[in-house]
Amino acid sequence: MSEYSIATHALPAATVAALRSMLKTLAPMLGTRWEVRDQLPADVLMAPAEMLARLPPVPRHSKLPLFVALAADDAQLAIAFASIKRPVSPPRLLEAIQAVEEQIRRIRSPQSLIETVPLLEKLDIQAKLAPGTLDMRLRTGLRAATFRLLQAPVAASLIDETRHAIYSVLPGIGFATRQTAVELVATLRANPPTILIELSSTDEKALAQARDFRPLRELEWSFWISARSPWLRPEVSQTGRYRLLRWPDFGRLPHSHAEVRLASFLMTQPMTLDELGTRTDVSRERAMNFLNAVHGLGLLAPAEAGSARRVEKPRAGPSISGLGALISQLRRKFGLTRSERVGSV
């Protein structure tokens, strides 16, 4: 059974016969997707332009059948989705067929170009989304889509089920979002269903002019820091001892007191993941998120890295041994013990 059909109206029998013959000729390009019917219903109604001209000139390109006019000249009729200049030839027919085929697909199922993959609650780090899946719209979870974009950025927008944009990415430029850094972290954490749409070059240009972009590393930080069921990225070892090369710029990255605490310990002394969680009283999951996030910033290094650096030993100053109570009081007073995120944006 054919996928698409053409019905004709008021065409000479010879023209209809020629139409059938041409479709067979075009089989290498069109396959056997098309058939010619004697009457409606069909996807396409082909008729002389002068016949279609008698109908109200109202475009009806969003419903079937689509009208294709056979015309004596190149004049376009409003009501016709496509026109073929007589005499009909295989190239002219092919051009019209390809145009209507695309439109028919859209009309039949507006979502048909969206490939749905399961909402991924946990993306296996080895199971990368195939590059080919970004040739169309992709329905998946926000975290899976973000992970894919961080691996290999393409110009894309992510929209939620209400069709509102969550963020957009332009490779080499960054990402843009109307959300604050803290809101974005919360959204990533919630991992809502999302549709990833690859952008055309026109869309890219318009977006680049309309929005301010932030570095992709901020998105990467937000992605890793927000994981609920984190896994350690393969570049980071469960048992390896790490140090921070420098402090993250918490002035511009969403963070909580826990991340400040983790950074302070890892800057003071190299640690394994287990040690980090134990010594800081921060949960293992949070410590894992932190290691993943700072690795993404290029700030995590094996313990022996940077050992050649000369760092000045602090000279004698006030003793710190009795400062525990003071530190606790100050933290409580200013709310520096809370786990909710603060951000700079």
Partner 1 sequence: MAAYRIVFAGPLGAGKTTAVAALSDVPPVTTEVANDEARAAGKETTTVAFDYGQVLLPSGDVVLLYGTPGQARFDFMWPIISENAIGAVILANNGRPDAVAATVDYVRNFAPRVALGNCVVGVGRCEEYPLPPLEAYGDALLEVGFELPVMAVDVRRREHALLLLDVLLARLDAARRLEA
Is 336 a residue that touches partner 1 (CB under 8 A)?
yes
Q: How far apart are CA 227 and CA 288, in angstroms?
A: 9
Is 315 a residue that touches partner 1 (CB under 8 A)?
yes
Number of residues that bind partner 1 (CB under 8 A): 41
Coil, strand or helix at 110 = coil
Cα first-last separation, the chain = 57
Neighbours of 152 (CB within 10 A): 11
Tokens describing residue 191: 């991992």
Nearest CB to partner 1, comparing residues 162 and 321? 321
Q: How far is the CB of 289 from partner 1 (least distance, A)?
A: 17
> Which H or E element spans position 263?
helix 257-268
Q: How far is the CB of 328 from partner 1 (least distance, A)?
A: 9
Q: Residues 26, 192, 279, 301: which binds partner 1 (CB under 8 A)?
A: 279
Nearest CB to partner 1, comparing residues 87 and 317? 317
Is 312 a residue that touches partner 1 (CB under 8 A)?
yes
Specify the pairing of strand 82-85 against strand 66-71.
parallel
Q: Are 289 and 300 in contact (CB under 8 A)?
A: no
Q: How far apart are CA 119 and CA 122, in angstroms?
A: 9
Specify the pairing of strand 4-8 against strand 34-37.
parallel
Q: How far apart are CA 200 and CA 186, in angstroms?
A: 29
Q: What is the DSSP string of 276-307?
A: HHHHHT--HHHHHHHHHHHHHTT-EEETTTTT
Q: Residues 317, 339, 340, 341: which binds partner 1 (CB under 8 A)?
A: 317
Pick out residues in 228-267 that bind partner 1 (CB under 8 A): 246-247, 249-252, 257, 260-261, 263-265, 267
> Which H or E element spans position 137?
strand 137-141
Nearest CB to partner 1, comparing residues 231 and 334? 334
Nearest CB to partner 1, comparing residues 72 and 327? 327
Question: Which range, of 90-98, 133-141, 287-295, 315-323, touches partner 1 by CB under 8 A?
Answer: 315-323
Q: How far is the CB of 325 from partner 1 (least distance, A)?
A: 7
Question: Which range, of 4-12, 97-105, 165-173, 305-313, touches partner 1 by CB under 8 A?
Answer: 305-313
Question: Which chain residues interact with partner 1 by CB under 8 A?
Answer: 246-247, 249-252, 257, 260-261, 263-265, 267-269, 279, 309-312, 314-315, 317-321, 323-327, 329-331, 333-336, 342, 344
